[in-house]
Amino acid sequence: KAGVTQTPRYLIKTRGQQVTLSCSPISGHRSVSWYQQTPGQGLQFLFEYFSETQRNKGNFPGRFSGRQFSNSRSEMNVSTLELGDSALYLCASSLAGLDEQFFGPGTRLTVL
């Protein structure tokens, strides 16, 4: 069974640009969560999608948005990038709820 995949793995953008990250969950998993990980803040919850609906959202500005498609694949978008958005963005999938999550390898975003 293939694991969670994220694309791209690495990304370099400049301030003010926007970026879209993609996550493909494990086959059969309907819940996809997104996290931001930085050395200073650790792992922080961005949002969770289940059956194409955002089920919960963390404390991030509206520049961070996401969506989920009918095949459970999910995308995350960050608009008007800031230097502080440089981070590892992790996606995790699970079958339905707060059962075991499986993380992808992450997308390393660098904002110059």
Partner 1 sequence: KNQVEQSPQSLIILEGKNCTLQCNYTVSPFSNLRWYKQDTGRGPVSLTIMTFSENTKSNGRYTATLDADTKQSSLHITASQLSDSASYICVVSRGGTSYGKLTFGQGTILTVHP
Does residue number 104 form part of the binding site for partner 1 (CB under 8 A)? yes
Whichever of 79 and 102 has its CB closer to partner 1, that residue is: 102
Tokens of 83: 């230097």
Residue 56 as a binder of partner 1 (CB under 8 A): the answer is yes
Contact between 33 and partner 1 by CB under 8 A: the answer reads: yes
Instruction: Tokens for 11, please give them.
Output: 């990304």
Query: Measured between alpha carbons, how far is 49 from 82 in angstroms, rounded to an integer?
Result: 25
Pairing mode, strands 87-94 and 102-103: antiparallel
Q: Binder to partner 1 among 55, 60, 67, 73 (CB under 8 A)?
A: 55
Q: Compute the distance between CA of residue 39 and CA of residue 17 in angstroms, rounded to an integer.
A: 23
Per CB under 8 A, residues contacting partner 1 are 4, 31, 33, 42-45, 48, 55-58, 90, 92, 97-98, 100-106
